[in-house]
Amino acid sequence: MAEALDAALAGLRSALLDPQRLVYAVAAGRRRNTATRWRRVDLRPVDLKGGRLLQVTAYDDRQAHTANHAYDGNAATAVDALLAEPFGSWHVKTVEETVQLRVTKKGLAQVHRSAPTATPQRHSDRQAHDRAKPHLLDPGDPLFDVIGGGAAKRRQVDAFLRATDAVLDPERLPHRPVRVVDLGCGHAYLTFAAYRWLTGVRNLPVDLLGVDVRADSRERNAAIAERLGWSEQVRFVASTIADAPIEAADIVLALHACDTATDEALARAVRWRAPLLLAGPCCHHDVQRQLVAGAAPHPYALVARHGILRERFGDVLTDALRAALLRMLGYRVDVVEFVDSEHTSRNLLLRATFTDAPASAETLAEYRALTSDWGVRPALERLLAAELATVLPPW
């Protein structure tokens, strides 16, 4: 049932200013026909050398602004200023309950209260844990309450961000805001996490576009972006990877795009000369079908005789050839395991940075010998035939 907005916001104030009750709070979005100073604001108590303070992190279109306020000082002033902003929603988690407030088109407040799903850690406990095992994106970040996912999903997110952090060089990204494209984004867990990390931790301005063939995925993800207050910077389209309306990209993600959809993503990244490419392959049917149709070279018939062994070999062969093709076209490529196999069997990551270095004669010879011996022509080679014409010796 809707209630008066001023009274509902006043009810949040005491929780926001209580250093023992508040776990975290998020204000995001904007009310109809209004504009806010910030796209999103996060509030949480933090324990620093000077004692417990209210930390406020506010996001504009370019970066995050963090300030710490003393509870016996200007914390009340900061909170009152934020409550006066025309945010479209508030999400406040305390030790007793979670309060979600949404402003209706008529300017009323829809308030939903629920008990916490788990006993929250005390801030001192959480900080001690973080010191023992720091995360690139805090597992307690409010983002995870919106996108969902348990501890295993959060470990995957952290592992993926670590793999990205190891090669991310902002100076090599030509655009501001940085253009990030996620091809085959699905439910976009890593899409949202990447945006949150790039903007909130690396302090980079980012425009992100997620592409997925399913219209329902686009609608779901767009609704989450709106709820997070990111809808102007994080957008989604329903399209095939090949037809997505994109002109350029600085960072290309292609995580678990099935079979040759991964190849389509890699091909588009190569044509954009994207400085950074991260692809997590999934389902390698294309080369596996070619292995079934052909004959294994001597003396490797035993490798291809049993279906399960042939399937696993096909996975390895496909990604080895993908890595080689990327190297031929100017990328430095690492093939890494970005998360433990106990969390997902699809845990391989092709991590490529564009250097424009010429292909070595050894790579060219090894690639052509391997494809000729096994009688396969990978989808990525077919898709990039024009780009490879002056590099790769013909069959």
Q: What residues does each domain of the chain span?
A: 2-134, 146-388
Higher-scoring residue by pLDDT: 32, 394: 32
Q: Does the pLDDT of residue 282 top 90, yes or no? A: no
Task: Return the structure tokens found at 231.
Answer: 């809808």
What is the C-alpha separation between 117 and 260, in angstroms, rounded? 40
Distance, CA of 315 to CA of 283 (rounded, Å): 8
Confidence of residue 220 (pLDDT cuts 50, 70, 90): very high
Over residues 294-316, the pLDDT tens digits come to 999 999 999 889 988 999 999 99
For 94-98, 115-119, 251-255, which range has the lowest pLDDT when averaged over its residues? 115-119
| pLDDT of 208 above 50 | yes
Nearest C-alpha neighbor of 158 from the set 189, 188, 136: 136
Q: Give percent of the chain with pLDDT exceeding 90.
A: 65
- Looking at residue 300, what is its pLDDT? 92
Q: What is the pLDDT of residue 217?
A: 93
Check if the beta carbon of residue 357 is closer than 8 Å to that of residue 332.
yes
Computed over every residue of the chain, the mean pLDDT equals: 88
- Does the pLDDT of residue 376 top 50, yes or no? yes
Q: Which of 112-116, 128-132, 202-206, 270-274 has the highest mean pLDDT?
A: 270-274
pLDDT category of residue 130 using cuts at 50, 70 and 90? very low
Please determine, for residue 106, whether its predicted confidence score (pLDDT) is greater than 60: yes
The CATH classification number of 146-388 equals 3.40.50.150
User: Could you give the CA distance from residue 194 to residue 141 in angstroms, rounded to a whole number?
Assistant: 13
Whether the Cβ atoms of residue 374 and residue 297 lie closer than 8 Å to each other:
yes
Among 216-220, 250-254, 303-307, 366-370, where is mean pLDDT lowest? Answer: 303-307
Task: Find the mean pLDDT for residues 36-48.
Answer: 88
Query: What average pLDDT does this structure show over 231-236?
Result: 94
Return the beta strands (E) in 169-217 as ranges: 178-183, 206-212
Residue 340 in this model has a pLDDT that exceeds 70: no
- What's the CA gap between 322 and 291, in Å, rounded? 16
For residue 61, what pLDDT is reported? Answer: 66
Mean pLDDT of 67-83: 94
Q: Residue 116: its pLDDT value, please? A: 60
Helix (H) or strand (E) segment spanning residue 121: none
3-state class percentages of the chain: helix first, strand second, coil last, to nearest 5? 40, 25, 35
Lookup result for tokens 């993908």: 322
What SS3 state is found at 105?
coil
Helix (H) or strand (E) holding 25: strand 22-28
pLDDT of residue 138: 82
The reply to whether the predicted model has a pTM over 0.85 is: no
The answer to which of 61-65, 258-262, 268-272 has the lowest mean pLDDT is 61-65
CA distances from 300 to 303, 306, 315, 380 (A): 5, 12, 16, 24
| pLDDT in the model for residue 121 | 47
Confidence of residue 259 (pLDDT cuts 50, 70, 90): confident
Asked whether the predicted pLDDT for residue 339 surpasses 70, the reply is no
Q: What is the pLDDT of residue 131?
A: 40
Q: What percentage of the chain carries pLDDT values higher than 70? A: 92
Task: List the 2-3 sheet strands across, edge first.
Answer: 2-3, 109-114, 98-103, 89-94, 22-28, 40-48, 51-59, 64-70
> 345: closest CA among 278, 291, 283?
283
Report the alpha-carbon distance of residue 329 to residue 367 in Å, rounded. 13
Confidence of residue 40 (pLDDT cuts 50, 70, 90): confident
Give the SS3 label for residue 81: helix
Both tokens assigned to 337: 């395991």
pLDDT of residue 345: 53
